[in-house]
Chains A and B, each alone.
With several copies, the nearest count.
Chain A
């Protein structure tokens, strides 16, 4: 099993969710994060002084999936999250050793 962490632009969350849902992936956990990268933050100007907001609001989507679905999920996310502009984000894949569903005690693929 793998844990996929995708950092995307916040306004793409809906599209990504729908796309994942259409390939049968319904479970995910979403965190609001701040991104630093090539895409730069912005300045806000108050009373003639510049104030730097150097991070960008981003959304992190974490999805645990069976190893054999990783490619499909990556592609789906990539397509849905892409705007073609800088700052579209990244997808990270981490090994996932074990999963438990708290309610039932199911483990492994059952628990996804």
Chain B
């Protein structure tokens, strides 16, 4: 299916099939529950939730000023809650029930029909699959928070998250993982270079552009108020990411083991690469730098981690360190877009890069598996990444317009000066005396 055809069909596709005409029986699943797979998938789910709470929250919270740290933690927490509720209400069904190539149907609305014993063809309960995928629907809008910190209204952020999950996340998840058109075309994206990082990264950039820069973005930006907090959060992201990537193999199997290994290698290599560049460029190797390199490495390896070998992981790690480092400067210094915590440069760029390069690194030449023709796979990957980026951008513009017309995007100037913790949440982060 070419993009133009896709473009013409989607409006049609979304509407009539939302409610399944006949509640189709699932194809007879012959799988039985495997306790080892179940044990690992529950654990992986816990790990991915841990990535957001408190991992991502701390990673982001430490990067802002002390007067805004609570608002960041609050955003992450509230996004977790709202995404969870929407997921159960209907998004799981839209993402993972049959539907058509563009969107699932509503047969599992309110988790209808997902009984205790339901396996749905897997070796672990569907309830666990619902939960595992929910943690992805939590962290993805969570990532976007990094772009909007220190100035966006709490209400606006909540509304954005809800709409974004419906308009951007659920469709893309369906395309790539829920049996949609990209999956049918053979797109490779084990754990979300497209579904998670491309959507979040692109949307973050667009949102940051609409929000405008923080008050003193041009004159003087403030250093991270707590690099230690950043590092704690990053460490939790690292350990949790094994749930993210290896968990996406759906069981405690050999593939999960290799996924774990290449995930780790890419993270370590990207950290060192970033640090070396920073050391040369800025004179000193910093803590915020090394952990940012790690996150870049993990975002980059995520889509590829089901198909590459150690060699591919090293290559992705090096590229993540280099490309994401310079992307940060490009966005902030050149384009002067205040994507405050570099969501696009680190997650977006990394995720897109990995999503494309798996087409090459997944070949046997690079010790990978699952890619037989690099050329054809590259085309598939690039098309998927490109289309997802466009969709995310368009969806974000739409949502921003809605918010501007309703609750408004940005807090007032005084609130921004005082800090969102006081202004929006009535709290103070550090009463140390």
Chain A residues in the interface with B (C-beta under 8 A): 10-11, 14, 32, 42, 44-49, 51-54, 57
Contact = CB atoms under 8 A, between A and B. Distances in A.
Interface residues of B, number: 30
A52 B216 CA distance: 12
Contacts of A44: 223, 286, 426-428
A46 B224 contact: yes
Contact of B282 (A10, A32, A45): A45
Given A11-B417, A11-B418, A48 B281 contact: yes
B95 interface: no
B329 A51 contact: no
Interface of B: 216, 220-224, 278, 281-284, 286, 288-289, 292, 325-326, 328-329, 332-333, 342, 345, 417-418, 422, 426-428, 433
A45 B286 contact: yes
Contact of B221 (A11, A32, A51, A54): A51
B292 A47 contact: yes
Given A32-B433, A45-B281, 8 more contacts: A44-B223, A44-B286, A47-B342, A48-B281, A48-B328, A48-B333, A49-B332, A53-B223
A46 B288 contact: yes
A47 B426 contact: no
B289 A51 contact: no
7 contacts: A42-B426, A44-B428, A46-B224, A48-B282, A48-B332, A48-B333, A49-B332
B333 A46 contact: no
Contacts of A14: 216, 220
A53 to B, nearest CB: 6
A45 B278 contact: yes
Given A11-B418, A32-B433, A53-B428, A48 B326 contact: yes
Nearest to B220: A52
Contacts of B283: 45
